[in-house]
Amino acid sequence: MIDLIESFLPLQISRRIPFAPADGLEYEDEEDLRLFSMQPIEDSQFDSRLRYVNGTKFRPPLFRFAWPIDDAHMLKIILAKFPDAIKTTSRPFKGPLPNPVPEEYQQLFEYPDNPRPETEIGYLDLTLPSRDLVHALAKHIDLPRKYVHLVRWVPLCDKDAEGMFGLQVGTNYHHRTSWEWIEKLKAVLEIDEDPMWYLDQERLYWRRVIPLPEDVPSNSYFHDEDGL
């Protein structure tokens, strides 16, 4: 019930707070592009006010500490290092994958040692988000258990709000994997870039948590220029 009520409340948040609505009160539909254009953010530049802390008046947008990674690159890594994590689907045609590959089959792939090549074929849409792949990555580098739950395949958006996918290693609602293990993941994944903070595609707004309307001075956001 509180979530329903809070969605109708003006935020009354300082307009200087990162990713706040332009007027400090309510988000307009056209603001999504403005918000996405402000990210991704390097870890050293990530504003501490965007980190979620229990008991605060406002809940920040969700940010994912992640790398965008091309499907083709991930497939190369999986085939070379994690073949046991491959997930399959029923083969939709007889014989090998056509060349060139039709658009509707872009997520399908042939792979060596397929135990049922006549009836099944590798499927990226199942393999990439699989926890088996995460556990294979974690086992490969002995990633501590406290970080394993942070690693997952997630949707991301670039500055133009164009969708893509990547590997998450932290969020502003929890914590991020330490740099020691990020460097080990970079080596395994054969990527040079550091992960960055990406705004979530759905939870991209500040939300009021408490208090309810009768407890909020109508001009409170003008008195909060330097913090929440």
The verdict on residue 119 lying in a domain is yes
Model confidence over 105-140: pLDDT tens digits? 999 999 999 999 999 999 999 999 999 999 999 999
The sign of the CA dihedral 200, 208, 171, 129 is negative
One-letter amino acid of 71: D
Q: Is the backbone of residue 141 left (phi > 0), alpha (psi -120 to 50) or beta?
A: alpha
Mean pLDDT of all residues in 172-196? 96
Q: Are residues 86 and 38 in the same domain?
A: no
E-assigned strands of 82-200? Answer: 88-90, 108-109, 120-123, 152-157, 163-171, 196-199
Model confidence over 132-169: pLDDT tens digits? 999 999 999 999 999 999 999 999 999 999 999 999 99
pLDDT of residue 217 exceeding 60:
no
The residue range of the domain holding 108 is 71-127
| Token representation of residue 185 | 């993941």
The verdict on residue 211 lying in a domain is yes
The verdict on residue 60 lying in a domain is yes
The verdict on residue 64 lying in a domain is yes
Number of domains in the chain: 2
| Token representation of residue 169 | 């290693």
Q: Which of 37-41, 90-94, 213-217 reaches the highest mean pLDDT?
A: 37-41
The pLDDT mean for the chain works out to 88
pLDDT band of residue 7 (cuts 50, 70, 90) is low
